[in-house]
Structures are given as structure tokens and as C-alpha cells.
Amino acid sequence: MNILAFAATTSRSSINKALVTHAARLLEAGLVADAHVEIIDLNDYEPPLYSIDRQDEGGIAEAAQRFFDKIGAADAVLVSFAEHNASYTAAFKNLYDWASRIDRRVYQDKPTVMLSTSNGSRGGRRVLDTATSTAPYVGADLRASVSIPHFSKNFDLSTGELTDPELRAQLEAALATLGAR
Ligand SMILES: Cc1cc2nc3c(=O)[nH]c(=O)nc-3n(C[C@H](O)[C@H](O)[C@H](O)COP(=O)(O)O)c2cc1C
């Protein structure tokens, strides 16, 4: 199973990238049989700021088409959302808006697990709620979602692993759903 993974942020020190990398290791360590995870960086997918005029003048931005095609080529998707002002980061929203102009069903019916984390007590729960509540309309076969609060308390950056056993169990249970038919 080829799983496309990314953090929905362009921060080079992203905590969501750290979480998604941890999740990828767990998947490849046997949580899902024959899992191969490719982690992409949204810095490599940066279209110009979306506007209907830009689309009318130049068509779909190349970076958005590449991002859409990456999802299309995968068997499943794993995403961890950074929360900016209770919503998506501008970088992700821009890419997502472009991709939705190719097809509203951006996730292309792929089995999908959605995560979020922040150092706050809600762990990005508000952006995760936005993403999960709209999943049916954007073609995500949403299998599970987990938000990780207080990232710096619950994650050891030196080992790259969640330290809280309850949160780790929640994450593992969510990831394992990608292996179910
Ligand atoms: C513009 C901006 C808005 C933010 N808004 C929120 C917020 O609404 N909720 C929250 O928990 N953290 C918020 N944060 C803190 C982010 O959770 C924090 O920067 C986190 O590291 C972002 O994830 P990333 O490192 O994966 O990019 C905000 C940060 C920025 C820069």
C-alpha cells in the first residue's frame, strides 16, 4: 500500500511534520501490512495565490496539478493539519483551493487519516473539525482522526516519538484503519 503523507504547513520546523513522520514510521513498522509511505513537503508545491482571474488567464497552476496527481497515484492519504487562527494555514488553503478547481473531490476517494497538533490544549482541533466535517464533500474516505494537544509535552523530538501512552494508542488505532478494506 502506497501512502502519501504530508503536513499541511510550510514551516521548516513543523511539529505536524514531526508527527506525520512518526506516524509514517509506525505504519511502515507493521501497523499496516506492506505500507510504503512517501512524505512530501508543501514547500515543493507552492502555486501563486489563487484567484479566478489567474485561473482564467493561465489555467490550473502546475504545482496544484502535481499535488492533485500525487494524491491520485496513492492508495491512501495521511495528513496532519497545522492550525492558524482556527483554520488551515494559508499555504495549504491556497494549494487546496487550486486543487479543488481540478476536481472538488480533492482526496479522490482515497482512504484518509487526518491528524493535527499544536502546543495548545486543543491540539488544532478546530482545523481538524473543519477538515473532517467537510471530508464527505471533498472525496475523503475518512477512516479516523486524532488531534494531539500540548505537542511539546507529549512528543520527544530527540526520538521523534509520542511519549504519552494514551495518545500513542489513539494514534496507532487511527493509523491501523488504513489497512482495513
Ligand atoms: C498565524 C498563526 C496563527 C496561529 N493560530 C493558532 C490557533 O488558532 N490554534 C493553535 O493551537 N495554534 C495556533 N498557532 C500556533 C501553531 O499551532 C504553531 O505555530 C504550530 O507550530 C504550527 O504547526 P506547524 O509547526 O506544523 O506549522 C498559530 C501560529 C501562527 C503563526
CATH number at residue 175: 3.40.50.360
Distance (Å) from CA 84 to ligand 1 centroid: 5
**Atom 31 of ligand 1, nearest CA residue:** 84
Distance (Å) from CA 59 to ligand 1 centroid: 32
Atom of ligand 1 nearest to the CA of 10: 27
Distance (Å) from CA 53 to ligand 1 centroid: 30
Judge if the beta carbon of residue 149 lies within 6 A of ligand 1.
Answer: no
Q: Print pLDDT tens along the chain (181 aa).
A: 999 999 999 999 999 999 999 999 999 999 999 999 999 999 999 999 999 999 999 999 999 999 999 999 999 999 999 999 999 999 999 999 999 999 999 999 999 999 999 999 999 999 999 999 999 999 999 999 999 999 999 999 999 999 999 999 999 999 999 998 7
Domain count, the chain: 1
The domain of 150 spans 2-179
Tens of pLDDT, residue by residue over 26-55, are 999 999 999 999 999 999 999 999 999 999
DSSP assignment string, 144-178: EEEEE-SHHHHEETTTTEE--HHHHHHHHHHHHGG
| Calpha distance 66→60 (Å, rounded) | 10
For residue 126, CA distances in Å to 23, 53, 146, 150, 175 come to 21, 31, 12, 15, 20
Of 27, 45, 44, residue with least CA distance to 36: 27
Judge if the beta carbon of residue 16 lies within 6 A of ligand 1.
Answer: yes
DSSP code at position 60: S
pLDDT at residue number 74: 98
Atom of ligand 1 nearest to the CA of 86: 8
Judge if the beta carbon of residue 112 lies within 6 A of ligand 1.
Answer: no
Rounded to the nearest 10°, the torsion over CA 40, 2, 176, 100 is 60
Judge if the beta carbon of residue 150 lies within 6 A of ligand 1.
Answer: no
Distance (Å) from CA 1 to ligand 1 centroid: 32
